[in-house]
């Protein structure tokens, strides 16, 4: 392999620089993946805007697919040439360390005390020609899953995690606030669990699309009395589960208005900004449960894509070269799904 590769490093507020990165010496437990596509998500937008602050410079990109081109140990040679995606939390378990931290010992590996996070926390991501990842974080892509579909494994796993931590039943009424990229996947997962799903958005186009992803009701949040419309749909009591996928700190406050007593607000927003104006008294009086979630089970996401064939490829709107990373993030603010293709 060559000694260096190109990467788009976020160097400051809304500023990328195309830089050369030298390949580090691989640990025995690591691999190098040639990146085919990297998806742009809401967290990337928040990092780019400075709302979500992390140490810079940093190569963003945590939704990735590619081909394994090098491994740190001959024992892992069978991975060479494999089409893969990768989990994003680099943990004690991922590196199979001799001594696990307290979180990993308790089975909370995604919350490893020593973790770095690909493209987010102290670890360069996939807006690059190549990315280094722990072997144990790799998942092979089945032949049935295309490169483009594979990019959706990470966000689909996050959508699945919503209902791993907030179980729902076929009788559950689930309201999804915000039906952008992640919101649509959440609608689909809830619908596959036979829940009744109501999509809420300010975008008529997104609401129309939500029906194809399992929603049975769609309510325009730009219209007056939309909260009353949600309550009418829930027969006046409020939703069993309200999922905040708005990408805005306002989402939590809105969710408190439409969740039923002893219902659950499931938070997915990672915009980096604090939520304000929350009526905690109402939450206590109504005995509302707040459950957050983030990264989810890749194996279940791969299985779901393989079995069900969700139309995720239809969400891809634009593909940008590495040099246009800033344009890609700006486009992602209003597009369905934007990819960066580093080796284009």
| Residue 35 and residue 343 in contact, taking contact as beta carbons nearer than 8 Å | yes
Q: Are 201 and 210 in contact (CB under 8 A)?
A: yes
Residue 1: name the closest of 29, 32, 37, 28 by CA. 32
Alpha-carbon distance values, 85 to 298, 310, 317 (Å)? 9, 18, 21
**Structural domain boundaries enclosing 331:** 4-155+296-341
- Quick one: tokens of 76? 């892992």
In a domain, 300, yes or no: yes
Do 198 and 98 belong to one domain? no
Give pLDDT, residue 139.
98
CATH of the domain at 200: 3.40.50.720
The total of structural domains in the chain comes to 2
Residues 287 and 184 reside in one and the same domain: yes
Predicted TM-score (pTM) of the model is 0.96
pLDDT at residue 3 in the model: 76
> In 3D, which of 148, 131, 117 has the Cα closest to residue 44?
117
Is 284 found in the same domain as 171? yes
Distance of CA 197 to the CA centre of its chain: 20
The verdict on 149 and 92 lying in the same domain is: yes
Give mean pLDDT in consecutive 10-residue pieces for the chain, a chain of 344 residues: 87 96 87 97 96 96 98 95 98 96 97 97 97 97 97 98 97 97 97 98 96 97 96 97 97 97 98 95 98 98 95 96 97 92 95
pLDDT on residue 22: 86
């Amino acid at each position: 392999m060559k000694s260096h590769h190109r990467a788009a490093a976020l160097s400051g507020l809304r500023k990328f620089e195309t830089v050369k990165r030298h390949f580090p010496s691989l640990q025995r437990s690591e691999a190098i993946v040639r990146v085919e596509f990297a998806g742009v998500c809401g967290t990337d937008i928040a990092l780019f805007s400075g709302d979500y602050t992390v140490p810079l410079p940093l190569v963003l990109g945590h939704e990735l697919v590619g081909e394994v081109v090098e491994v740190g140990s001959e024992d892992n040679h069978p991975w060479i040439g494999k089409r893969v995606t990768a989990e994003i939390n680099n943990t004690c378990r991922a590196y199979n360390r001799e001594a696990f931290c307290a979180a990993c010992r308790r089975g909370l590996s995604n919350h490893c005390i020593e973790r770095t996070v690909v493209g987010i926390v102290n670890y360069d991501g996939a807006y690059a020609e190549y990315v280094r990842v722990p072997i144990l974080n790799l998942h092979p892509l089945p032949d049935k899953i295309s490169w483009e579909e594979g990019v959706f494994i990470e966000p689909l796993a996050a959508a699945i995690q919503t209902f791993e931590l907030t179980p729902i039943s076929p009788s559950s009424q689930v309201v999804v606030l915000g039906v952008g990229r992640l919101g649509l996947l959440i609608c689909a997962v809830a619908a596959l669990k036979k829940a009744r799903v109501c999509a809420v958005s300010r975008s008529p186009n997104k609401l129309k699309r939500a029906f194809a992803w399992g929603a049975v009701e769609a309510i325009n949040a730009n219209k007056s009395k939309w909260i009353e419309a949600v309550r009418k749909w829930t027969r006046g009591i409020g939703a069993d589960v309200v999922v905040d996928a708005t990408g805005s700190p306002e989402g939590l406050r809105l969710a408190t208005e439409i969740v039923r007593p002893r219902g659950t607000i499931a938070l997915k927003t990672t915009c980096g900004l604090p939520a304000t104006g929350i009526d905690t008294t109402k939450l206590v009086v109504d005995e509302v449960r707040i459950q957050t979630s983030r990264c989810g089970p890749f194996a279940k996401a791969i299985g779901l894509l393989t079995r069900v064939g969700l139309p995720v490829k239809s969400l891809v709107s634009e593909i940008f070269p590495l040099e246009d990373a800033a344009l890609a993030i700006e486009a992602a603010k209003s597009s369905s799904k934007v990819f960066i293709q580093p080796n284009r």
